[in-house]
Amino acid sequence: MKFKIIVVVAARPNFMKAAPIFVELKRFKNIEPVLIHTGQHYDAGLSKVFFHDLSLPRPDAHLGVGSGTHGEQTGKTMVTFEGILSKHKPHLVIVVGDVNSTLACALATVKVRCANKDYYPLLAHVEAGLRSFDWHMPEEYNRRLTDAVSDFLFTTEPSGARNLEREGIDRKRIFFVGNVMIDSLMRFKKRAEHSDILQRLKLEKKKYALLTMHRPSNVDDKRALRGLLHVLRRISRLLDVVYPIHPRTEKMLKQYGLSADFLRIVPPLGYLDFLQLMMNARCVLTDSGGIQEETTVLKIPCLTLRNNTERPVTVSEGTNTIVGKDPEKIFSAVENILEGKIRKGKCPKFWDGKAARRICRTIDAHLRNP
């Protein structure tokens, strides 16, 4: 008998996490993987290019959920994903990360059990247990609620199990497997070295900073955005700041009538181009989650434009520094980097390119022998 497993993707940070899992699942003869795209991200630059760069097959279904309020987006995803569950009747659903679709598909999966006495789909959450303890972040709700209902909780770093156990999650459901995002980084690093993005943008290695900024707390709040732009202007006098802009930020800059023309703004980039830019940057300034992890492995200094991180190992072992939104702290951190005061850091345990293998072996063993 074949076990059907649905892998859910939805938004940009999901693709590089799901890709290695999907590839690995395909190696198991007794497993039939099904790829479902909820359509939370729909712009080609946030979605399609990743399928190409990561050699992901076309999804078996695209739910076309799109944007909306949190309730709309989450609700619409639940309804459409319920249809997918009744069509495919998977044995297990795998959700990754912490976006709205992660939670929506998790809830839809476990709720199907209540209405069907004879059907009990299992749920696995990849990147479980991360906590920012910041309830202003929609992702914090998504993480906690998804973890609360998952049968398999695959963690990336030691803080994951600690957080989950504190929340009363049975230790037997928690598996420390490492970081699937790093599986992709290791698999595609060589290919990324061939990207011609530096020539296209006329950049020299180590002579620019790379910026990503899209968190609602940084870009939806006019004062916060203006403050960040102010310090970025100062930084841009020291070195080029390359900014692949996120549609949310583009929209907010227009809405507030703010200018960012001192930055080297480029459209959102694909996985390989972005990896190449990260590898050769003098430093990275970001409010993203995954980039804190990728820079740790690449040993590139990372300044996180947030007051907290759900990925503490990147600070304790990696190259990440939490600088928040304080302009002086941000500016002096950049000055320090330019003066060569940088931490080398080390690669956290199990960030070794084999996380997807550990996940799939665990799942396979359980499905064979529940």
**Helix 180-193 crosses helix 290-298 at what angle (to 10 degrees)?**
60
- Residue 156 or 236 having the CB closest to ligand UD1: 156
* DSSP three-state, residue 97: coil
Which residues in the 259-278 window bind ligand UD1 by CB under 6 A? Answer: none
- Residue 37 or 264 having the CB closest to ligand UD1: 37
What DSSP letter does each residue of 316-365 carry, written as one string?
Answer: HTSSEEE-TT-HHHHHHHHHHHHTT------PPTT-SS-HHHHHHHHHHH
Min CB(42)–ligand UD1 separation in Å: 4
Min CB(80)–ligand UD1 separation in Å: 15
Which residues in the 37-56 window bind ligand UD1 by CB under 6 A? Answer: 40-43, 46
214 is an interface residue for ligand UD1 by CB under 6 A: yes
Per-residue contact flags (x/-) with ligand UD1 for residues 117 to 156, judged by CB under 6 A? ---------------------xx-----------------
Stretch that binds ligand UD1, among 36-44, 181-189, 294-302, 354-362 (CB under 6 A): 36-44
78 is an interface residue for ligand UD1 by CB under 6 A: no
C-alpha torsion sign, points 336, 337, 341, 343: positive
Choose the catalytic residue: 214, 230, 246, 366: 214
Cβ 356 vs Cβ 180: under 8 Å: yes
Tokens of 72: 């709309």
Of 31, 1, 11, 9, nearest in space to 359 by CA: 31
In terms of Cβ atoms closer than 10 Å to its own Cβ (0-12, 13-18, 19+), residue 350 is: middle
* DSSP three-state, residue 96: strand
- Residue 290 or 353 having the CB closest to ligand UD1: 290
296 is an interface residue for ligand UD1 by CB under 6 A: no
294 is an interface residue for ligand UD1 by CB under 6 A: no
Stretch that binds ligand UD1, among 5-13, 269-277, 318-326, 337-345 (CB under 6 A): 5-13
Cβ 16 vs Cβ 184: under 8 Å: yes
Which residues in the 88-107 window bind ligand UD1 by CB under 6 A? Answer: 98-100
Sole residue written with tokens 């249809």: 83
- Residue 14 or 163 having the CB closest to ligand UD1: 14
Cβ 302 vs Cβ 283: under 8 Å: yes
Of 30, 44, 15, nearest in space to 247 by CA: 44
- Residue 72 or 165 having the CB closest to ligand UD1: 72
Min CB(213)–ligand UD1 separation in Å: 11
Min CB(243)–ligand UD1 separation in Å: 14
290-322: b (≥16 Cβ within 10 Å) or e:
bbbbbbbbbbbbbbbbbebbbbbbbbebbbbbb
The span from the CA of 215 to the CA of 273, in Å, is 22
Min CB(234)–ligand UD1 separation in Å: 26
Among 30, 52, 64, 67, binds ligand UD1 (CB under 6 A): 67
13 is an interface residue for ligand UD1 by CB under 6 A: yes
In terms of Cβ atoms closer than 10 Å to its own Cβ (0-12, 13-18, 19+), residue 261 is: exposed
251 is an interface residue for ligand UD1 by CB under 6 A: yes
Residue 214 known to be catalytic = yes
Stretch that binds ligand UD1, among 222-230, 246-254, 269-277, 313-321 (CB under 6 A): 246-254
Residues near ligand UD1, by CB under 6 A: 11-13, 40-43, 46, 67, 98-100, 138-139, 214, 246-248, 251, 288
Q: Which residues are catalytic, by number?
A: 214
